[in-house]
């Protein structure tokens, strides 16, 4: 591991004896999950709780003429059947737009469809019953008369003036368009020795969290308070939105998030059916539970990607890139999602294309269109895999055209490691990246020259292996620039409150959340290290709007960088407060005292002065023995948000080594390497596992995953047998290396790592497939790279 630390003196707080920073300590409280004693929302039961099943539209686009629930209401166990119109008496509709995405438009969306359905799977009625099975039985007995409307499915046809407009009030099917032009693109292409153009196609895919979306809403009419138990990444966002649309104050809504069975961005949004559950609880004045089944997950969990992008690169014969140009088109379903909107991914694509390279000429257009398919929104690595696949695909095509090695062309164009701070032609500001150091590390790890020799030898035996390289940048630690500036009440700051309890252990309340990344662990590691207590003494409380500071939660690779810094700063204050009390008790100067292993010791000789438990005993039970005027404050709270840079960019590079069977079109992944730079590493094992998990999600997109719609807008593979996900036997081992360039925005220096793996994996695989297919003079620029795509490229089908 290469380590580059810029601010070692200010990091002293983290380099204390017994520091957990940089150590692969196991996460706390895993036994609960391993012994089957976790508490996921799908496990929850409350007194008087009822279950809801949604009757969902079989049509992609239709008028609802009539709903007859007479028979259903008389079925055993049925409490109520509620239509969209009836639910609208308790919950207001919403429009998923943000003001900083200029021109973004969408139509009002209701919790349950009223008069019209706009995608297959949209809820048309809710059946509430004593069990989910009873609710599903009754749903089958609701008769809905539909009048089918033309479904708009194809993204190109959606913009054709002849195509019906999904929301007539909007005037057309174009939700958002962004154009960007930097430098002198036409001149740069004219000066290029070669211009290479390609169309890149990305399938629609989805998150497939193993625990489906689940929510229990409990409106207590006597308390006038709604408690929402939900697997969410952003509890305070849910609180805000639920209150807003139910006509409540935020103080009337508590959001509790216990264990979450996978998120990856799927659970950072608020879905119409979840809104319906909150409203149903209010309407029926009792707890209502909804757990999506797998078919509902495929039909209603946000989908992602679904881009077609024409792209162009100009290159000189010496390998220098002169310009990038893209024209991206994406389909987002019938509504922009709420409250984060569905224009962010396309916007990110415009921001990120060409990002690793020192090129100043860049033109981009991105168009986002409505269609009658499931909603599309932010899923792990939002936009990054698209931008990375386009950029890295173009770079490889350019290298091929001028006969240059893919590594060499990157060496000649990646922004120099000493070239920071700098900005990209799309306006992104980079504080400090390490593309070249990462590239060098990667080449060494994978033995690039050795693999090239092996490839050449095997080619002679008609075995076709390929190497694919992909450099990338990743947006992490977002400030208010992401959502807040656009008017969304999604906090970009996070807070941590620490309290020394009466036995000398620490209660830590943080606004970041846990979905398995290790938020709890990294928080305990930081607090334990800074305070000087074993991390086992730090109890971390998260996921409860009543019991944590206000904050954003865990998404966009922000938990460690933002929540971690808040923990560090809060721990510093509590440490100071403890030392002040200790000084008063011991009649010493606080500067002469330290906290080590949960005890106050002398700085000079390390001698034990007083245990923290004894200090706490005195503070809480014998304050009368403290000197006059000493008021201990054994609780401290600090908040943090980055202010100087809108985002802390990280960087990295990936490589794939694979074999293509040119007879069957199957791709076998042999090995994958990643080098990434997320700044200060709090727990190397957790970072590596984030990278590996992220890579595998990217490999799924590269090879298997696609929501296949027919021309009528019917999702034809809404089950796990037909929608393929990566399983253990197809996945390679993944080696992970690091370069460490801490951000100077925080004392901790940590940037995010959650999306780096997903950002570059598909690009590396696509490039490797094209490298393997080189003897066949064909290029593939579409994912997933199914056998059919590959055989078609080879002219075999």
- The residue among 134 and 228 lying less far from another protein, judged by its C-beta, is 134
- The residue among 27 and 116 lying less far from another protein, judged by its C-beta, is 27
- The residue among 504 and 693 lying less far from another protein, judged by its C-beta, is 693
Q: Among 58-66, 159-167, 256-264, 486-494, which window interacts with another protein (CB under 8 A)?
A: 256-264
- The residue among 173 and 683 lying less far from another protein, judged by its C-beta, is 683
**HSE of 189, CA atoms in CB hemisphere, 13 A:** 12
The two tokens of residue 431 are: 């504080």
- Does 693 help bind another protein (rule: CB under 8 A)? yes
For tokens 């005890």, what's the residue? 599
- Does 594 help bind another protein (rule: CB under 8 A)? no
Neighbours of 495 (CB within 10 A): 25
- The residue among 313 and 687 lying less far from another protein, judged by its C-beta, is 687
C-beta of 687: minimal distance to another protein in Å? 10
Site string for another protein, 666-685 (x = CB under 8 A): -------------------x
**Contact status, residue 90 vs residue 179, Cβ threshold 8 Å:** no
User: Contacting another protein (CB under 8 A), which of 339, 504, 516, 553?
Assistant: 516
User: Contacting another protein (CB under 8 A), which of 33, 165, 610, 779?
Assistant: 33
- The residue among 265 and 564 lying less far from another protein, judged by its C-beta, is 265
Distance (Å, rounded) from C-alpha 500 to C-alpha 511?
18
The per-residue DSSP string of 706-766 comes to: ---B-TTS-BS--STTTS----GGGPPPEEEEEEE---TTSSS-B---TTHHHHHHHHHHH
- Does 708 help bind another protein (rule: CB under 8 A)? no
- The residue among 99 and 719 lying less far from another protein, judged by its C-beta, is 719
- Does 261 help bind another protein (rule: CB under 8 A)? yes
- Tell how strand 422-423 and strand 429-430 pair up: antiparallel
Q: Among 261-269, 447-455, 588-596, 743-751, which window interacts with another protein (CB under 8 A)?
A: 261-269
Distance (Å, rounded) from C-alpha 475 to C-alpha 477?
7
Distance (Å, rounded) from C-alpha 600 to C-alpha 143?
72
- The residue among 134 and 793 lying less far from another protein, judged by its C-beta, is 134
User: Contacting another protein (CB under 8 A), which of 218, 259, 325, 676?
Assistant: 259
* # binding residues, another protein (CB under 8 A): 57
- The residue among 273 and 520 lying less far from another protein, judged by its C-beta, is 520
Those residues with Cβ within 8 angstroms of residue 49's Cβ, 6 or more apart along the chain or in another chain: 216, 218, 286, 287, 288, 289
- The residue among 208 and 414 lying less far from another protein, judged by its C-beta, is 208
C-beta of 440: minimal distance to another protein in Å? 24
- Does 509 help bind another protein (rule: CB under 8 A)? no
Those residues with Cβ within 8 angstroms of residue 118's Cβ, 6 or more apart along the chain or in another chain: 60, 61, 166, 333, 334, 335, 372
Distance (Å, rounded) from C-alpha 545 to C-alpha 253?
8
Distance (Å, rounded) from C-alpha 646 to C-alpha 650?
13
Q: Among 262-270, 271-279, 590-598, 764-772, which window interacts with another protein (CB under 8 A)?
A: 262-270
Residues 517-536 that bind another protein (CB under 8 A): 517-518
User: Contacting another protein (CB under 8 A), which of 686, 739, 765, 768?
Assistant: 686
- Does 689 help bind another protein (rule: CB under 8 A)? yes
- Does 43 help bind another protein (rule: CB under 8 A)? yes
**Contact status, residue 693 vs residue 731, Cβ threshold 8 Å:** no
- The residue among 13 and 701 lying less far from another protein, judged by its C-beta, is 701
- Does 733 help bind another protein (rule: CB under 8 A)? yes
C-beta of 36: minimal distance to another protein in Å? 2
Q: Bridge partners of 147?
A: 63
Those residues with Cβ within 8 angstroms of residue 440's Cβ, 6 or more apart along the chain or in another chain: none
- The residue among 34 and 591 lying less far from another protein, judged by its C-beta, is 34
C-beta of 466: minimal distance to another protein in Å? 21
Q: Among 529-537, 591-599, 693-701, 787-795, which window interacts with another protein (CB under 8 A)?
A: 693-701
- Does 47 help bind another protein (rule: CB under 8 A)? no
- Does 35 help bind another protein (rule: CB under 8 A)? yes
C-beta of 32: minimal distance to another protein in Å? 8
CB burial of residue 782 (10 Å; 0-12, 13-18, 19+): middle
Site string for another protein, 68-107 (x = CB under 8 A): ----------------------------------------
C-beta of 264: minimal distance to another protein in Å? 7
For tokens 């998260």, what's the residue? 542
Site string for another protein, 740-769 (x = CB under 8 A): -----------------x------------
- Does 30 help bind another protein (rule: CB under 8 A)? yes
The two tokens of residue 779 are: 């290029």
Cis? peptide before 657, omega within 30° of 0? no
Residues 375-414 that bind another protein (CB under 8 A): none
Q: Is 447 left (phi over 0), alpha (psi -120 to 50) or beta?
A: left
The two tokens of residue 371 are: 């269609």
User: Contacting another protein (CB under 8 A), which of 209, 233, 300, 440?
Assistant: 209
The per-residue DSSP string of 534-549 comes to: -GGGEEEE-SBTTTS-
Neighbours of 539 (CB within 10 A): 16
- The residue among 131 and 631 lying less far from another protein, judged by its C-beta, is 131
Distance (Å, rounded) from C-alpha 401 to C-alpha 550?
53
Residues 111-150 that bind another protein (CB under 8 A): 131, 133
- The residue among 208 and 346 lying less far from another protein, judged by its C-beta, is 208
For tokens 């860049």, what's the residue? 362
Closest CA to 557 of 694, 740, 653, 420: 694
Closest CA to 256 of 276, 285, 226, 277: 226
User: Contacting another protein (CB under 8 A), which of 719, 775, 788, 797?
Assistant: 719
Closest CA to 699 of 729, 752, 656: 656
C-beta of 27: minimal distance to another protein in Å? 6
Site string for another protein, 283-312 (x = CB under 8 A): ----------xx------------------
User: Contacting another protein (CB under 8 A), which of 55, 696, 701, 759?
Assistant: 696
Q: 3-state SS string over 98-134? A: CCCCCCCCCCCECCCCCCEECCCCCEEEEEEECCHHH
| Contact positions vs another protein (CB under 8 A) | 26-27, 30-40, 42-43, 131, 133, 207-212, 259-264, 293-294, 515-518, 685-686, 689, 692-697, 719-721, 725-731, 733-734, 757
């Amino acid at each position: 591991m290469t380590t580059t630390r810029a601010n070692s003196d200010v990091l002293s707080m983290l380099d204390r004896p017994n520091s957990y920073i940089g150590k692969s300590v196991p996460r706390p409280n895993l036994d609960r999950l391993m012994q089957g004693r976790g508490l996921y929302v799908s496990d929850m039961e409350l007194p008087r709780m009822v279950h809801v099943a949604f009757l969902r539209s079989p049509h992609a686009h239709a008028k609802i003429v009539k709903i007859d629930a007479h028979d259903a209401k008389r079925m055993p166990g049925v409490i109520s059947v509620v239509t969209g119109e009836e639910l609208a008496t308790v919950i207001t509709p919403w429009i998923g737009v943000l003001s900083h995405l200029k021109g973004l438009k969408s139509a009002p969306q209701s919790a349950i469809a009223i008069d019209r359905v706009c995608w297959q799977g949209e809820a048309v009625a809710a059946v509430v019953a004593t069990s989910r099975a009873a609710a599903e039985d009754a749903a089958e007995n609701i008769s809905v008369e539909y009048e089918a409307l033309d479904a708009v499915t194809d993204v190109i046809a959606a913009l054709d003036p002849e195509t019906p407009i999904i929301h007539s009030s909007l005037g057309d099917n174009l939700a958002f368009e962004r154009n960007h032009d930097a430098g002198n693109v036409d001149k740069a292409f004219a000066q290029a020795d070669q211009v290479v153009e390609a169309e890149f196609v990305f399938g629609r895919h989805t998150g497939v969290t193993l625990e489906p979306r689940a929510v229990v809403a409990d409106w207590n009419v006597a308390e006038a308070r709604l408690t929402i138990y939900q697997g969410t990444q952003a509890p305070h966002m849910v609180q805000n939105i639920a209150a807003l649309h139910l006509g409540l104050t935020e103080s009337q809504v508590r959001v509790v998030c216990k264990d979450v069975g996978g998120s990856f961005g799927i659970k950072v949004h608020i879905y119409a059916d979840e809104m319906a559950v909150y409203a149903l609880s209010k309407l029926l004045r009792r707890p209502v539970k909804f757990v999506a089944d797998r078919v509902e997950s495929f039909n209603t969990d946000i989908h992602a990607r679904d881009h077609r992008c024409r792209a162009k690169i100009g290159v000189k014969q010496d390998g220098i890139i002169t310009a990038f140009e893209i024209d991206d088109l994406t389909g987002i379903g019938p509504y922009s999602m709420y409250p984060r909107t569905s224009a962010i991914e396309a916007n990110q694509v415009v921001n990120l294309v060409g990002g690793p390279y020192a090129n100043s000429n860049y033109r981009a257009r991105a168009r986002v269109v409505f269609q009658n398919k499931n909603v599309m929104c932010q899923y792990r690595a939002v936009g990054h895999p698209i931008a990375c696949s386009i950029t890295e695909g173009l770079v490889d095509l350019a290298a091929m055209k001028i006969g240059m090695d893919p590594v060499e062309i990157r060496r000649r164009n990646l922004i120099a490691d000493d070239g920071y701070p700098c900005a990209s032609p799309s306006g992104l500001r980079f504080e400090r990246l390490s593309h070249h150091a990462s590239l060098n590390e990667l080449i060494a790890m994978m033995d690039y020259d050795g693999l090239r020799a092996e490839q050449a030898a095997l080619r002679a035996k008609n075995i076709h292996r390929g190497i694919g390289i992909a450099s990338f940048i990743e947006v992490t630690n977002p400030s208010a620039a992401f959502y807040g500036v656009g008017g969304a009440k999604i906090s970009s700051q996070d807070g941590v409150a620490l309290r020394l309890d009466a036995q000398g252990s620490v209660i830590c309340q943080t606004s970041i959340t846990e979905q398995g990344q290790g938020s709890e662990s990294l928080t305990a590691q930081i607090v334990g290290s800074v305070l000087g207590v074993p991390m086992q003494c730090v109890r971390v409380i998260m996921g409860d709007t009543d019991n944590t500071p206000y904050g954003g939660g865990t998404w966009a690779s922000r938990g460690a960088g933002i929540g971690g810094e808040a923990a560090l700063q809060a721990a510093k204050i509590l440490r100071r407060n403890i030392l002040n009390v200790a000084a008063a008790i011991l009649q010493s100067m606080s500067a002469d005292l330290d906290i080590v292993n949960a005890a106050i010791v002398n700085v000079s000789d390390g001698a034990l002065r007083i245990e923290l438990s004894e200090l706490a005993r005195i503070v809480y039970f014998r304050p009368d023995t403290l000197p006059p005027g000493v008021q201990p404050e054994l609780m401290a709270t600090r908040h943090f948000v980055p202010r100087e840079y809108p985002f802390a960019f990280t960087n990295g590079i990936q490589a794939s080594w694979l074999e293509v069977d040119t007879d069957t079109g199957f791709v076998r992944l042999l090995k994958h390497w990643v080098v990434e730079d997320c700044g200060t590493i709090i727990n190397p094992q957790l970072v590596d596992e984030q990278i590996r998990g992220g890579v595998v999600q990217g490999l799924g997109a590269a090879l298997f995953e696609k929501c296949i719609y027919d021309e009528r807008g019917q999702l034809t593979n809404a089950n796990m047998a037909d929608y393929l996900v990566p399983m253990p036997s197809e996945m390679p081992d993944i080696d992970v290396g690091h370069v460490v360039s801490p951000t100077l925005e925080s004392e901790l220096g940590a940037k995010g790592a959650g999306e780096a793996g997903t950002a570059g994996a598909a690009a590396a695989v696509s490039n490797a497939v094209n490298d393997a297919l080189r003897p066949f003079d064909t290029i593939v620029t579409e994912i997933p790279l199914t056998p059919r795509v590959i055989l078609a490229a080879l002219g075999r089908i």
